[in-house]
Amino acid sequence: MSETEKEIEPAGENDRIWDRIGHRLSQWKKTLLEKSRPHKTLHYWVKKTFEELLTIRVIRFIVGLVAFLVLFYAGIVYVLGYDPLMGTIFSGVAWLIPIFGYIPMPFEMPQGIAQGTSIGFFDIIQFLGQQGIFPYIAIGVLLIVPILVGRSFCGWICPFGFVQDLFALTPIRKRLPSKQWDTRLKSIKFVILFVILFLVAWLGIWTFLGIDEGFRGAVTLPFATAFWATINPASTFFVILPYLYLRGIVSPILTEWNPPFIAWGWPMYLRLGFLVVVLLLALFVTRPFCRWFCPTGAMMGLVSQFSFLTVSRSATDCLGPTCDSPRCKSACPVGIDVMAKPFGPIHDIECILCLDCVAKCGHDSVKVEYG
Amino acid sequence: MNRRVIAIAILCVGLAALAFGISLGQHELVRSWVQVFSDAYAPFFPQPIPP
């Protein structure tokens, strides 16, 4: 045997040994994988469906759509001219209409909604406040709902939020303003809120003292009963546009019952213009109305800072600045930088609990907490 | 003050306001305001199915 062959022989033996070890390891790995792989039971498929198809965003969209349809059920009946659910098991949805009527809704539900099903608490505050009546029920709703579930109604149920989400589905690249401008614009809703509350309180006191006639005459009745509704784009979208459509085309009843706030003139152009601006913005910025203009959301946000229901950033799981895929930073539709928040529950006025940050986090470190 | 204590206090005030409002009958005022608009649509509302 040559010297070269002597050197090769032990190496060949080693290779065989390593091959055997490698084969054993691959067998072991295969067995482990087979053991760890779930059987394709019903549970497996349900779990897979929820994980892959029913993402939080899809579920939120479905919930928003159902809420939208239920809230405007009467309107749908009106527009169609018949009740599509009549005679079916779902005809009971009609029960909800009188129930909704007694409870001020914890989101932007404009005064004078054409379908007449319900009304938002902020409109009730204005409506009763300007008459000199303290709106106990509306204040109760304002305090109870955000404490129990934060602003989740804004994120999941609000019909105007749903409309903005629909506009955000367009394949147009979203362009956010700079952080500084975003912060400045976010203060607009608080300015709107405090101006309206001031006017309501002022007129309420004057009404209480019996010296309100001059003011009401000066500003006209619709403005005096609902300051915000005269400009509110949600009101324009859900109240004014249906009225304009119905009055003009199909409704003899509305030509007799002529709401005074529907009259062409600069206020109408102003409100239509504001709606167009908001909807155009919704193509480029997610939830622009909720972000910058909604006084109902601002009011709820002030209370929701103390909410039991929060999104929380985990101190043990979150990688912070070293995260390889910080998708939570750009996930938030109202522009909250989750990564910049301290660990623990995030108590932010703007948070609408849409849970997009929870869904986007690849490390499962943004969680929902209650308590 | 502890955030949770503040939350419970706000919740109690809210519940008290709600109960007081209902005892004053303010839910009827809310309903009456909604009714103004729903009356205009009354002919088009679904009629209950007779049993």
Q: What is the pLDDT of residues A50-61, one digit of tens each?
A: 666 678 888 899
Rounded CA separation B15/B23 (Å):
12
> Given an 8 Å threshold on Cβ–Cβ distance, is A141 in contact with B14?
yes
Distances (CA, A) of A16 to A2, A7, A8, A21, A250: 22, 15, 13, 9, 88
pTM for the model: 0.78
> Given an 8 Å threshold on Cβ–Cβ distance, is A143 in contact with B24?
no
Is pLDDT of A37 > 50?
yes
Q: What are phi and psi of A34, to 5 degrees?
A: -65, -40
Helix (H, G, I), strand (E, B) or coil at A162: helix
How does A109-120 read in b/e, with b if 16+ C-beta sit within 10 Å?
A: bbbbbbbbbbbb
Q: What is the pLDDT of residue A134?
A: 92
Q: Which of A117, A184, A152 is nearest to A370 (CA)?
A: A152
**Shortest distance, CA B25 to any CA of chain A (angstroms):** 10
Query: Chain A within 8 Å of B34 (Cβ-Cβ)?
Result: yes
Residue of A nearest to B20 (CA): A136
Distances (CA, A) of A245 to A14, A19, A253: 86, 79, 13
Mutation to test the A interface, candidates B13, B38, B39, B49, most A Cβ within 10 Å: B38
Q: A57 CB contacts (<8 Å, ≥6 apart)? A: A356, A359
Rounded CA separation B32/A197 (Å):
22
Rounded CA separation B34/A111 (Å):
8
Question: Which pLDDT band holds residue A9 (cuts at 50, 70, 90)?
Answer: low
Cβ-based contacts under 8 A for chains A and B:
124
Phi-psi region of A175 (alpha: psi -120 to 50; beta: other; left: phi over 0): beta
Contact, A80 vs A91, CB < 8 A? no
User: Any idea what DSSP says for residue A352?
Assistant: -
Rounded CA separation A261/A274 (Å):
16
Residue in the structure block whose two tokens are 């109902």:
A296
Two structure tokens written together for A94: 């009609």
Rounded CA separation B28/B38 (Å):
14
Q: What is the pLDDT of residue A254?
A: 43
Rounded CA separation A150/A147 (Å):
6
Q: A243 CB contacts (<8 Å, ≥6 apart)? A: A114, A254, A259, A262
Question: Which pLDDT band holds residue A21 (cuts at 50, 70, 90)?
Answer: confident
Q: What is the pLDDT of residue A131?
A: 85
The model's pLDDT over A65-82, given as tens digits with 9 standing for 90+, comes to 988 887 777 666 666 666
Contact, A125 vs A194, CB < 8 A? no
Residues 70-89 of A with CB under 8 A from B: 74, 77-78, 81, 83, 85-87
> Given an 8 Å threshold on Cβ–Cβ distance, is A119 in contact with B49?
no
Residue of B nearest to A113 (CA): B37
Nearest 5°: the CA angle A329, A167, A61 is 70
Contact, A158 vs A334, CB < 8 A? no
Contact, A353 vs A151, CB < 8 A? yes
> Given an 8 Å threshold on Cβ–Cβ distance, is B34 in contact with A118?
yes
Is pLDDT of A6 > 70?
no
Rounded CA separation B46/B51 (Å):
15
Residues 145-174 of A with CB under 8 A from B: 147-148
**Shortest distance, CA B27 to any CA of chain A (angstroms):** 5
Is pLDDT of A138 > 90?
yes
Mutation to test the A interface, candidates B1, B44, B47, B49, most A Cβ within 10 Å: B44
Question: Which pLDDT band holds residue A263 (cuts at 50, 70, 90)?
Answer: low
Is pLDDT of A311 > 80?
yes
Distances (CA, A) of B27 to A36, A127, A145: 57, 13, 17
Rounded CA separation A69/A75 (Å):
9
Is pLDDT of A35 > 70?
no
Question: Which pLDDT band holds residue A195 (cuts at 50, 70, 90)?
Answer: very high
Amino acid at A175: R
Q: Higher pLDDT residue, A103 or B3?
A: B3
Q: Higher pLDDT residue, A71 or A331?
A: A331
| Mean local confidence (pLDDT), A257-278 | 73
* Burial label, A301 (beta-carbon count in 10 A; 0-12, 13-18, 19+): buried
How does A203-234 read in b/e, with b if 16+ C-beta sit within 10 Å?
A: bbebbeeeebeeebeeeeebbbbbbbbbbbbb
Comparing A76-90, A228-242, A291-305, B9-23, the range with the smallest average pLDDT is: A76-90
